[in-house]
Amino acid sequence: MEKENTLTVAVLGAGNIGSAMARGLAGSGHTVHLYNRGAARLESFGSMPGVVPTQSLEDALRGADLSLICVEGHAVMPLIGAMGRFLESQSVVVGSCAAAISTEELSEALGRFVSQPKVFRLLPNIAATAGKSTNLLCAKGIGNSDLSALQSIFECTGTTLIVEERLFPAAMALSSCGIAYAMRYVRATMSAGVQLGLSPAVAEAITAGVLDGTAALLASGKHPEELIDTVTTPGGLTIRGLNAMEAAGFTPSVIAGLTAAAKV
């Protein structure tokens, strides 16, 4: 699994996440065998370059270097059971996007068919559908160079971070759940903007632009508090707003929400 090679990837499940993965992988030159149980979700992929849609698990796995399971959590183990007789090589690499299934469980299930299972978890968030996911990656039975190759392969759907599996609940609270929290922040700023006389569309456009600009500023490597200092003129309006938000419990609310979401 060399970084520079294009691969044949079996993406198993064509829901929101599987479709996004298929688009990203095909867009970066890989060949995708996109399997789905039902026909409906495959229809839009009929003429997409690099994607071969199929309802046959056997066809999807034939010649695949890598498989990525993107079905609902309850369907993962039955799917691995069904994959067993079609796996062509002992060195097959199988990953899963399911939120709550560990590499230990994946390895045990795949171990019924191959002697030394190579498994990974890839936890995207829903921004994968816009090519802007923050993916979390960990693996079992896969060496560092292949892990870094996987990281590079999945950059096609957004940033991919290698995270220790024991920290997945924490990282998922910030990443997968984080989209919902950021959206709630957007909705709150829109409510304030409308109260102040802006149209919802203008309030939304301003907030989206601010979030985009904030991400770009963070890429400079500066600490958030240093960047805040550049905006908060002493005695000015920004610090007045910030202090009013903190008095209403902004930081403790965010910490309480994230720690609640990270409880397993």
Ligand X SMILES: NC(=O)c1ccc[n+]([C@@H]2O[C@H](COP(=O)([O-])OP(=O)(O)OC[C@H]3O[C@@H](n4cnc5c(N)ncnc54)[C@H](OP(=O)(O)O)[C@@H]3O)[C@@H](O)[C@H]2O)c1
Q: Give the interface with ligand X as residue ranges (CB under 6 A).
A: 13-18, 36-38, 41, 70-73, 75, 97-99, 123-126, 176
**CA 140 and chain centroid, separation:** 19
What is the distance between the alpha carbons of residues 170 and 243, in angstroms, rounded to a whole number?
Answer: 28
Residue type, position 176, single letter: S
SS3 67: strand
Q: Quick one: 80 or 97, whose CB is closer to ligand X? A: 97
For ligand X, the closer of residues 41 and 187 by Cβ is: 41
CB of residue 200 to ligand X, shortest distance in Å: 25
Residue nearer to ligand X on the CB measure, 10 or 203: 10
Q: Measured from the CB of residue 32, what is the shortest distance to ligand X in angstroms?
A: 14
Between 73 and 111, CB nearer to ligand X: 73
Is the Cβ of residue 126 or residue 147 nearer to ligand X in the bound state? 126
At 117 the three-state DSSP class reads coil
Closest approach of ligand X to the CB of residue 164, in Å: 18
Closest contact distance (angstroms) between CB of 124 and ligand X is 5
What whole-number distance in Å separates Cα of residue 29 and Cα of residue 37?
Answer: 25
Q: What is the nearest approach in angstroms of ligand X to the Cβ of residue 219?
A: 24
Complex with ligand X: residue 59 or 242, whichever CB lies closer? 59
Residue ranges of alpha helices (H) inside the chain are: 16-27, 57-61, 76-83, 103-110, 144-154, 168-174, 178-195, 200-218, 224-231, 237-247, 250-261
Tokens 């000015």 found at: 236
Residue nearest ligand X, CB atom distance: 15
Q: What distance in Å separates the CA atoms of residue 93 and residue 20, rounded to the nearest whole number?
A: 20
Q: Count the residues in the chain.
A: 264
- Least Å distance, CB 13 to ligand X, is 4
**With contact defined as beta carbons under 8 Å apart, do 193 and 157 qualify?**
no
CB of 132 to ligand X, least distance (A): 13
**Is residue 41 helix, strand or coil?**
helix
Q: Are 21 and 48 in contact (CB under 8 A)?
A: no
Looking only at the bridges linking them, the beta strands covering 31-35 and 51-54 are parallel
Comparing CB distances to ligand X, the nearer of 117 and 124 is: 124
Hey, what are 40's tokens?
Answer: 């409906």
* Residues 158, 92: Cα–Cα separation, whole Å: 24
Cα first-last separation, the chain:
33
